[in-house]
Amino acid sequence: MGGPELVSWLVVGVCGGTGCYCLGRLRRLPPGGRQGRALEGAMGLAMALMAAGMAGGPAAPAGVLVAVSATTVLGAALPLGLRARHRAHHAVEGAGMLYMALAMGGAAGAHAAHGGPSGAAPAGVPVLSGALLVYCALYALRTAPRLVPAGTAQRGAGDVGLGAGEDEVAVACRLALTLGMVAMVLVM
């Protein structure tokens, strides 16, 4: 096992663990704070299923991945307890997952119809994949410094740290899922 297969299995572990953790914390949150964590949990588990299929493991049906991705996009549109920027991030990542599920499903079907292996050629539109990579990379670069404690020398003078009501675990979950998305797009 090496290369993309190993990366895919690492994404399965990180995203699956993050999804389970987010869903496990739901009952300890007030009702207004559950939407974001539920979206992150569903996204993490869907990403783990998608990455398992990319690694050669049991693949989830494309319809399930499309349904979860579409639900994430629609769920992010509801203004229940999430700031607009947080909702926009979930909508972009959900749309990215929807794009990957459709691209991988189409590539697998096309290669299977020609008798070739499902991973023989990259899937997706390079411009969309590139845009998703740029968004996720910029989000990670913007978010990661927020996890550095306020008193350390690495923080810049303009950094504001965590927003009101945000905890480090929620920010770390979003960062882990974003980095998982980067890995999946690169392996796709």
**Of 104 and 177, the one with more pLDDT:** 177
Using a 10 angstrom Cβ sphere, with 0-12 exposed, 13-18 middle and 19 or more buried, the burial of residue 112 is exposed
- Give the pLDDT score at 26: 85
- Give the pLDDT score at 30: 80
54 — pLDDT class (breaks 50, 70, 90): confident
- Kindly give, in sequence order, each residue whose CB lies less than 8 Å from that of residue 16, ignoring residues fewer than 6 positions away: 44, 45, 48
**Of 118 and 27, the one with more pLDDT:** 27
Q: What's the number of domains the chain is made of? A: 1
**Domain containing residue 134:** 4-187
Residue pLDDT, tens place only, 114-146: 333 444 455 678 899 999 999 999 999 998 888
State how far the alpha carbon of 146 is from the alpha carbons of 118, 168, 174, in Å.
40, 8, 12
Residue pLDDT, tens place only, 57-109: 777 777 777 777 777 777 777 766 667 777 788 888 888 888 888 887 765 54
Q: What is the pTM of this model?
A: 0.76
Contact 72, 39 (CB under 8 A): yes
Out of 4-8, 21-25, 42-46, 65-69, pick the least confident: 65-69
pLDDT over 70, % of the chain: 77
